[in-house]
Amino acid sequence: MKRRTASNLARSQEASMVSAALIHLEDRVKSVKRAKVRFYRNPGVRAESLLEAALECFAEEDYESVTIPLIAKKLGVAHSLIYYYFKNKDSLYQSSVLHALDRLMTNYGEVVARHDSPAELLSAYLDLNVEMSETLRSLVRIMFVNAGGASDAGPKFIDSFVEDFYESEKRILADCIRQGVEIGMFTCPDPEEMAAFISRNIDGIYFGSFMPHGAPIPAAMRYLKEVTWGLLHYAGDARTKTPSTTKSGR
C-alpha cells in the first residue's frame, strides 16, 4: 500500500512538472487574447468562424497581401462587421494567431492530464499533432513565412510566442522521456536532445506537407512515432504504437 501511494504521488508530481511547461505560454495567450478580442454580440457571426477564416487567409497569403475585404469575402460578411470587432488588420492577425494557440494549449493540456504512462502520453502527443494538423499547418506557415524578417507590427508580434511555444513543447517531451527513463520504460542518454529531435521532425513533417509531393501528415507522423520508439528502445504496449486516423491533415 505504501509503495502504491508513493507511486501515485510520484506520478502526480511528474504530471505537475509536465503541466507546468504549458502554464507560461497558456497564460500569456489567454491574457493577450482577452485584451485583443471584443465580445461578439452578433448571433449570425461566430467569433471562432471569423478568426479561423482570418488564420487561413494569413496562412495562404503573405501578410502584405491580406486585406480585411479579402477576409470578409472568404467569410461572406460585410468588411464593416470585421472593423466593428477589430481595430485594424494587425489586431485581427494577432487575435487569429492567439485563438489558434489557445486551442493548441488547451488540447495539449488535456493530453498531459489524461495520461499517466510516458509512452501513452508521447503517443497521444504525436497523435494530437495529426488531429490538429489543419491549425498547425496554418501556424507553421505564418510563423516561418510571415514572421521572418517582416517589419510589420503583425508578423513581428508572433516572434516571442514562437519561442515560448517551442520551449513548452520541448519541455513536455523532455519531461515525458525523462520519466520513462526513470521507470525503466525508455532508454535514452539525453532526454533534452531527444525532445529537440522529435520537435524538429514534427516541424519537418509540416514543412514537407507544403511540398508538391510531400508525404501525408498521418503517414509521416506514424513513421516518426516508429522511429521514436526505436530510438527509445521501447517495445511495450502495442496500443501506444497505433497512430490516430481521425483526420487526414491534407
Q: Domains of the chain: which residue ranges? A: 2-241
CATH number of 2-241: 1.10.357.10
Calpha distance 90→11 (Å, rounded): 43
Q: What is the pLDDT of residue 166?
A: 84
- pLDDT recorded at residue 243: 44
**Alpha carbon distance 247, 243 (integer Å):** 11
Q: Check residue 64 and report its DSSP letter.
A: G
Q: Are the C-beta atoms of 177 and 115 separated by less than 8 Å?
A: no
pLDDT given for residue 250 in this prediction: 33
Coarse DSSP helix, strand, coil percentages of the chain, rounded to the nearest 5 percent: 75, 0, 25
Smallest CA-to-CA distance from 209 within 158, 137, 150 is with 137
Separation in Å, CA 19 to CA 16, 32, 99, 108, 124: 5, 21, 20, 9, 15
Q: What is the pLDDT of residue 171?
A: 92
Amino acid letter for position 184: G
| Grid coordinates belonging to 166 | 517551442
Q: What is the pTM of this model?
A: 0.74
Longest dimension (CA), the chain: 65
DSSP, collapsed to helix, strand or coil, labels residue 68 as helix
Over the chain (250 residues), what is each successive 10-residue block's mean pLDDT? 47 52 55 48 63 90 89 87 85 88 87 92 95 89 64 64 83 95 96 96 89 87 96 76 41
In this prediction, residue 22 carries a pLDDT of: 55
pLDDT of residue 241: 55
